[in-house]
Structure 1
Amino acid sequence: AGTDHTFPFPIDIKLADVGGPSAGLMFALGIVDKLNPESLTGGKFIAGTGTIDDAGKVGPIGGIQMKTIGARQAGAEYFLTPADNCAAAAAHVPDGLTLVKVDTIDDATKALQKIGKGDTAGLPRCTKS
């Protein structure tokens, strides 16, 4: 069962072959991007995963290493990674993929803005420990 919310505008997300809550963060960021006049990503290829709750907290997901591999194979250079998945994801990072640690939707939004502007030096990164 899901949670129902009332928004001041219609939201209709249809994406084949997506099940479970692990796309919550990326769906939420897609909505934020549509509500802003400027692109959050600046056209950069950014992937990510994570559940999201009503307070904007990003939660861990299963199969993080397979998701990072798939994202890199598809061309992503950055991967928004739930903080609680960072150590597991960092254990086997695909070459050319930067794991960006996010704990909230605000963290993720700020990271997207920085990546979009090419200001990536201060991004929070995932480490093995």
Structure 2
Amino acid sequence: MFSLGIIDTVTPGDLTGGKHVAGTGTITPDGAVGPIGGIEQKLHGARAGGATLFLAPAANCGEVVGNIPDGLQVVRVETLAEARAAVERAASGQDTSGLPTCTNN
């Protein structure tokens, strides 16, 4: 999310379009999103904080399934570019139900 915050700061407009988006993951120099620890707690904390969209590293999907709080859509991401595209899609009001999840491709 820090990387997306930087993108938001250095580009025109509001990247999230006012949507409450959360997420986690490491970012490699080539833009790959890597796994993190504690994703179950992060999912619940994000929802409690008002997030409706959560970006999760693909490598953490095994821990995500069965632990998604009601009202939170989890999008599986493998790259920073995918994360940005998901946020931009949500911000524009487009349907996000077709974005990758931890249970589909």
Structure 2: where are the runs of 5+ without partners?
A: none
Aligned residue type for 1:126: C
With structure 1 as the length reference, what TM-score do the two structures score?
0.76
CA distance in 2 between partners of 1:123 and 1:41 (Å): 16
- Tell me what 1:94 maps to: 69
- Tell me what 1:75 maps to: 50
Deviation at 1:122, TM superposition (A): 2.2
Structure 1: where are the runs of 5+ without partners?
A: 1-25
Deviation at 1:121, TM superposition (A): 3.0
Describe the SS at the equivalent of 2:17.
coil
CA distance in 2 between partners of 1:100 and 1:69 (Å): 15
Superposition misfits of 4+ residues, deviation over 6 angstroms = none
- Tell me what 1:57 maps to: 32
Q: CA RMSD in A?
A: 1.2
Aligned length, in residue pairs:
103
Larger radius of gyration: 1
Q: Which one scores higher on RCO, CA 8 angstroms, separation ≥ 6?
A: 2
With structure 2 as the length reference, what TM-score do the two structures score?
0.93
Deviation at 1:127, TM superposition (A): 1.9
CA distance in 2 between partners of 1:75 and 1:108 (Å): 19
